[in-house]
């Protein structure tokens, strides 16, 4: 078994080419292509209806689709049972059945996931106020998240898929959730794929980002190369036309007649002549890429 895992480490965890999925009159995935390397934390970011959840459902083998897709070297359409031994999927960490107890939740996950380690789960719960007989309906939202996290982190999955996992939580619990994942779960043998439209809250944990718009991947890059590729310039008023001639990918106005332009792949030295430069935040890049999507 160990040899098989090692043999796969150089392959992408997910490789998609020409992914297409149509629902009636809507193309949810439109010739989408992307790769996710092993040992990365990848954000799949896009507005509602962009195709994020459809892409996840394809990866998890939950829907039929057209095109080529390999997940951990397997085709999710025909090898889903074998694939799910190495994959863990979580949607909303603030939701568990209200009647279930801590002990029952542990027993349930142990019964459905072959790589769940109940003893490890108990170790994660030791630092909390959760007791075996406590029911979800008696827990605060923060305690439910603690239980959900302990269940997730006790699964030794090679791919963890999170679909808008913190949607029902306030910002404090969202930060704690991602911090615990980073500190106690993630390592080079695991890959995390997380979808969200809340760019700022996951920006600091990502190694890679993919923007999806209208079923297509419109940006796919490592976070540490963003600064090499994209620059924002606070353009001086007398250099506007000169800057526009360099074909910015976005332009927005600020108070007092200031203009910010976003450039992709332009010469940094040339841009510095036009005004003050800086690396854009992921949120700024997202808004620029998605302009017109919310019209």
The DSSP output letter for 290 is: T
What is the phi/psi pair of residue 196, to 5°?
-165, 165
Q: What is the pLDDT of residues 192-227, one digit of tens each?
A: 999 987 788 888 899 999 999 999 999 999 999 888
Torsions phi, psi for 229 (to 5 deg): -100, -45
pLDDT tens digits, 76-107: 999 999 999 999 998 888 788 999 999 999 99
Q: Which two tokens stand for residue 179?
A: 């911090």
Please give the CATH superfamily to which domain 2-214 belongs. P-loop containing nucleotide triphosphate hydrolases (3.40.50.300)
Q: What gap in Å lies between CA 203 and CA 207, rounded to an integer?
A: 9
The CA distances from residue 105 to 23, 65, 118, 150, in Å, are 35, 33, 10, 11
8-state DSSP, 184: I
Question: Residue 154 has which token pair?
Answer: 């006790």
Q: What are phi and psi of 49, to 5 degrees?
A: 85, 5
Report the SS3 class of residue 216: strand
Reported as a single tens digit per residue, the pLDDT across 98-148 is 999 999 999 999 998 889 999 999 999 998 899 999 999 999 988 998 999
pTM: 0.88
* Domain ranges for the chain: 2-214, 226-289
CA distance 16 to 56: 12
């Amino acid at each position: 078994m160990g040899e098989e895992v090692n043999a796969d480490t150089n392959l992408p965890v997910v490789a998609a080419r020409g992914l297409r999925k149509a629902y009636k009159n809507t193309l949810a995935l439109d010739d989408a292509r992307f790769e996710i390397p092993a040992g990365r934390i990848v954000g799949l970011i896009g507005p509602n209806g962009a195709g994020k959840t459809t892409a996840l459902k394809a990866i998890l083998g939950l829907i039929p689709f057209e095109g080529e897709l390999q997940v951990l070297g397997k085709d999710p359409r025909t090898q889903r049972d074998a694939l799910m031994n190495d994959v863990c999927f979580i949607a909303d960490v603030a939701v568990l059945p209200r009647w279930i107890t801590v002990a029952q939740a542990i027993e349930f996950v142990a019964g459905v996931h072959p790589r769940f380690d109940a003893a490890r789960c108990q170790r994660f719960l030791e630092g909390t106020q959760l007791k075996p007989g406590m029911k979800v309906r008696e827990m605060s939202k923060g305690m439910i998240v603690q239980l959900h996290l302990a269940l997730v982190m006790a699964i030794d999955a090679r791919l963890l898929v999170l679909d808008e996992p913190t949607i029902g939580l306030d910002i404090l619990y969202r930060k704690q959730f991602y911090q615990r994942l980073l500190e106690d779960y993630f390592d080079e043998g695991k890959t995390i794929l997380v979808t969200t439209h809340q760019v700022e809250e996951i920006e600091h944990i990502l190694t890679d980002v993919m923007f999806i718009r209208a079923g297509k991947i419109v940006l796919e890059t490592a976070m540490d190369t963003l600064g090499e590729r994209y620059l924002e310039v606070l353009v001086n008023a007398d250099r506007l036309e000169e800057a526009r001639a360099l074909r910015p990918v976005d332009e927005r106005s600020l108070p007092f007649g200031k203009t910010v332009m976003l450039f992709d792949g332009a010469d940094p030295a040339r841009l510095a002549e036009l005004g003050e430069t800086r690396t854009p935040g992921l949120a700024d890049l997202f808004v620029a890429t998605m302009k017109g999507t919310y019209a």
